[in-house]
């Protein structure tokens, strides 16, 4: 089976979006930080996801992205298809030219497997993934790390501000 980084990252980003949908629009920078996916790569993926009407963009302060419809109505296969990714287990990319330009002995076996995988992923919604306890455990860990990072940044900013320097100097006395 050939499911490349593009498809995996698109599903990961959409799941992150679904997990954080209760907080309003989600920034790509937030997804990038939590999922360790480059911001420029996410921008490319979300352009395709927006074209396929899986996400909506919200402009302005506090803007970002949100799901275009309920997570129960968005399926993993649909996300993978949206970023022009194919789920294909054949060695010929489904073209039927596996062996000297003709179908090989096992072409239809691998083609049927590809169809089964696509059908399987067509039955898994973002909402069903959000409800999984293992997904929730990972979300809590990632959100905890994000809060720790934000607290450290705030602490560093305070220490380097004039008011912070006064507090540090006063505590040294």
Angstrom distances, CA of residue 48 to CA of 6, 79, 152: 11, 10, 35
Centroid of chain to Cα 111: 27
Can you tell me the mean pLDDT for 105-120? 93
Q: What is the DSSP letter of 21?
A: G
Q: How far apart are CA 123 and CA 12, in angstroms?
A: 17
Residue the block writes with tokens 């999922």: 35
Q: Is the pLDDT of residue 79 over 60?
A: yes
User: Between residues 93 and 139, which one has the greater pLDDT?
Assistant: 139
- Each residue's pLDDT tens digit, 28-75: 999 999 999 999 999 999 999 999 999 999 998 889 999 999 999 999
According to the model, what pLDDT value does residue 53 have?
Answer: 97
Domain 5-131 has CATH 3.40.50.720: no
């Amino acid at each position: 089976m050939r499911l490349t980084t593009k498809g995996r990252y698109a599903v990961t980003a959409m799941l992150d979006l679904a997990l954080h949908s209760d907080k309003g629009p989600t920034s790509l920078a937030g997804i990038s930080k939590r999922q360790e996916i480059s911001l420029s790569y996410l921008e490319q993926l979300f352009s395709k996801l927006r074209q396929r009407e899986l996400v909506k963009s919200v402009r302005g302060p506090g803007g970002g992205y949100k799901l275009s419809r309920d997570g129960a109505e968005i399926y993993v296969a649909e996300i993978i298809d949206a970023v022009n990714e194919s789920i294909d287990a054949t060695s010929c990319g489904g073209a039927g030219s596996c062996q000297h330009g003709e179908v090989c002995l096992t072409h239809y076996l691998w083609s049927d497997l590809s169809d089964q995988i696509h059908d399987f992923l067509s039955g898994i919604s973002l909402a069903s993934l959000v409800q999984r306890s293992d997904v929730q455990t990972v979300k809590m860990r990632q959100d905890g790390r994000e809060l720790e990072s934000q607290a450290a940044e705030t602490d560093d900013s305070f220490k380097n501000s004039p008011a912070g320097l006064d507090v540090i100097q006063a505590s040294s006395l």
